[in-house]
Amino acid sequence: MKREPLKNNVNDYVIRVFDSPLEVDAIAWDDLLAQQNPAGTLNPFMRHAYLAAMHASGSAAPETGWTPRFVALYVGEKLMAACALYLKTHSYGEYVFDWAWANAYQQHGLPYYPKAVVAPPFTPVPGPRLLARDAASRVMLVKALMAWCEAEQLSSLHMLFAADEDIAACAEAGLMLRHTVQFHWKNVAPTLVASRAFGGALPHELERGALFPLGRPGGENNAPTRFKDFDDFLTSLNQEKRKKIRQERRKVAEAGVAFRWSRGVDISAADWDFFYRCYERTYLEHGNAPYLNRDFFERMAKTMPENWLLFVAEKDGEPMACSLIALSAETLASDGQSTPSETVQKTAYGRYWGALERVDCLHFEACYYQPLQWCIEHGFHSFEGGAQGEHKMARALLPVKTTSAHWLAHPSFADAVERFLEREGQGIANYMEDLERRTPFKPAKAPA
């Protein structure tokens, strides 16, 4: 149901709140999403088809504690900004943990739920959250969200794993910022620029894309280049890490496990069924039902096949494990032509995995080494390994700071959380410094 629009007379914005992503124009939404990344790729987890499938499949719906309230700002009939907001009755499936905040509210006899969350459900992947045509519309959207939450008497507003532009708008509007750490791989060895020639640049500076975002120095005119193959990647690591990865891959091969991959429409219905069998079993082994149902992935196969890559592990010719990787999609220019592939910084995202049989080091092979090898062979710029997991550093995924923004309606609790975030933020900064000293890459050589 489309709710009665709210008029902002000062800026002539009309604010509309929709009860379902299916009520939002898909073409207008995806056009707005495409404008958030000039690099030529479309974040798959903010595509209209992805969010619509979450709702239509019942995976993210009121029955599972995710009630959609998509907020859109219009000037006339032109969509200027929009976001995916959910009313939450719990904190599962978010990966930015606020259980302690909820407990504190409960101890004081105050309701913490429902709260408002701006993020794609069950998806701890950094990306755009406030889709906007310009900075002014983005800030106006944040203010509209805060006003709407206050009018609805919600305890709080949380924007998770947001892009830098969104965080800047939130900071301008007075939201509190919170940092966490993820581990991402780049198709380049950062220690090759961590020398006195670049002022002792640390690996995380390259991880943020500040230096040589497409590769490492080398070749003609010192032009950036990506790894040539997996062995070239291994050569960039220190001896201990290089030896460990080779040992782990050898264990899987000696166990008689071989891999094949399929992408997009080449992923068969049988493979999707096998994937879901593995995915569901992984959750059940940990005592939980899976967040996503089979219907959701059926919709992904039909509406977003180009965004999925499946690795299947086979033993004696029979499938026994798999990992599903999401891929960024290239955007189309106004003339319908895609951005030249050599200029597009494409990203792969580690998402789901499962196994029917235990094999030593199989998880590392399926979830890291096979995807990294594929990324190198297919010219992908980066691989994001998902939430948490310090063990990923041993596989050359480096620490990256991710940021969320928070607003709490209760002044006293807002003050207490702000003080907590100051302490937590310093701890995260210290943690990042410690991680950066433990780089898996070779020490940099000073230039001659």
Q: Which uninterrupted H or E stretch holds 143? A: helix 135-151
- Number of helices followed by number of strands (H, E) in the chain: 13, 18
Question: At which residue do the structure tokens 């210290």 appear?
Answer: 430
According to the model, what pLDDT value does residue 37 have?
81
**Minimal CA–CA distance to 185: which of 331, 369, 372, 47?**
372
According to the model, what pLDDT value does residue 9 have?
43
According to the model, what pLDDT value does residue 42 have?
85
**Which is higher by pLDDT, 150 or 8?**
150
pLDDT (mean) for 299-323: 97
Residue 96 identity (one-letter amino acid): V
**Which is higher by pLDDT, 336 or 425?**
425
Please state whether the peptide bond connecting residue 114 to the residue before it is cis, i.e. omega within 30 degrees of 0: yes
- Whole-Å CA distances, 295 to 26, 39, 68, 83, 321: 20, 32, 19, 24, 21
pLDDT (mean) for 172-198: 77
pLDDT (mean) for 274-292: 95
Architecture of domain 226-380 in CATH? 3-Layer(aba) Sandwich (3.40)
According to the model, what pLDDT value does residue 5 have?
47
According to the model, what pLDDT value does residue 189 have?
78
Where b means 16+ CB within 10 Å and e means fewer, 173-207 reads bebbbbbbbbbbbbbbbbbbbbbeebeebbbbbbb
Which segment of 181-185, 193-197, 413-417 scores lowest on mean pLDDT?
193-197
- 226-380 matches 6-174 in CATH topology: yes
Gap between the Cα atoms of 339 and 41, Å rounded: 9
According to the model, what pLDDT value does residue 231 have?
97
Which segment of 4-8, 45-49, 160-164, 434-438 scores lowest on mean pLDDT?
4-8
Residue 112 identity (one-letter amino acid): Y
- Whole-Å CA distances, 126 to 134, 183, 274, 298: 20, 11, 28, 24
Whether residue 197 has pLDDT greater than 60? no
**Which is higher by pLDDT, 120 or 217?**
120
CATH domain 6-174 topology: Aminopeptidase (3.40.630)
What are the extents of the domains in the chain? 6-174, 226-380
To the question of pTM greater than 0.85 for the whole model, the response is yes
Average pLDDT, the chain: 88
Which segment of 101-115, 211-225, 397-411 scores lowest on mean pLDDT?
211-225
CB 343 within 8 A of CB 40: yes
